[in-house]
């Protein structure tokens, strides 16, 4: 890929996706804040042109106190096991916790759907585990228990959202006509992903 091609692709994506972002002067990095269902945090989109990689970070707003870093390390290890896209990581020196997703694009063009997958997979997972992580930091709950309780809450929320959807009169995703309306092959990708357009429950600011 050419010089700054990855960075330019990122700028174009976040502009079209209507993010409020800033460029870190002298670096191929964009910064932005994100508000999820469970909190707000800072994000960094980094273009590694020489390595032909795109990396996206969600950095939590609190640093883990020194006395809690062992428990948080256990929490992260348990959560990361089996994680397919991305991983949590903690700086043991200062307690910074972040979630990282990335993609290697050597020999290929970085397209908007590829960027979208890296970005939104990151945001969803970060928001999913944020409350559980905060419990480990600010209470005496065991990491395993915090994860289990978080899983139960996430399942309950999903069931509630599904029930609301089934009770609604929304016919946007009609599965009775035999057609693949949800994931089609047209160019209106935003219409195929309910959480990737204006109907998102998240706030990009």
Over residues 113-138, the pLDDT tens digits come to 999 999 999 999 999 999 999 999 99
Query: How many whole angstroms separate alpha carbon 99 and alpha carbon 43?
Result: 9
Neighbours of 94 (CB within 10 A): 10
At 37 the three-state DSSP class reads coil
Stretches in the chain below the pLDDT threshold 50 = 1, 171-205
What pLDDT is attached to residue 169? 56
**117 burial via Cβ count (<10 Å: 0-12, 13-18, 19+):** middle
Residue in 9, 19, 42, 22 with CA at minimum distance from that of residue 197 = 19
Query: Which of left, alpha, beta for 95 (phi over 0: left; psi -120 to 50: alpha)?
Result: left
Asked whether the CA dihedral 154, 89, 59, 82 is positive or negative, the reply is: negative
What pLDDT, on a 0 to 100 scale, did the predictor assign at position 161?
73
Rg (CA), the chain: 19
Is the overall model pTM greater than 0.85, yes or no? Answer: no
Q: What is the bridge-based pairing of β-strands 29-35 and 53-59? A: unpaired
Size (the chain), residues: 205
Residue 196 contacts residue 116 (beta carbons within 8 Å): yes
């Amino acid at each position: 890929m050419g010089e700054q091609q990855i960075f330019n692709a990122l700028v174009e994506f976040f502009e079209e996706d209507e993010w409020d972002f800033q460029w870190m002067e002298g670096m191929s990095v964009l910064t932005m804040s994100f508000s999820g269902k469970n909190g707000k945090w800072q994000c960094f989109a980094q273009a590694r042109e020489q390595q032909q990689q795109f990396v996206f970070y969600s950095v939590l707003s609190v640093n883990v106190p020194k006395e809690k870093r062992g428990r948080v390390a256990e929490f992260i290890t348990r959560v990361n096991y089996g994680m397919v896209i991305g991983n949590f990581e903690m700086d043991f020196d200062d307690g910074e916790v972040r979630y990282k997703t990335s993609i290697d694009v050597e020999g290929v063009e970085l397209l908007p759907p590829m960027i979208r997958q890296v970005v939104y997979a990151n945001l969803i997972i970060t928001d999913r585990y944020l409350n559980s992580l905060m419990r480990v930091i600010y209470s005496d709950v065991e990491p395993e228990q915090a994860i289990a309780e978080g899983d139960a809450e996430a399942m309950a929320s999903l069931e509630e959202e599904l029930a609301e959807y089934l009770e609604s009169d929304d016919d946007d995703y009609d599965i009775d006509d035999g057609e693949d309306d949800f994931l089609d092959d047209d160019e209106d990708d935003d219409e195929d992903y309910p959480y990737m357009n204006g109907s998102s429950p998240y706030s990009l600011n």
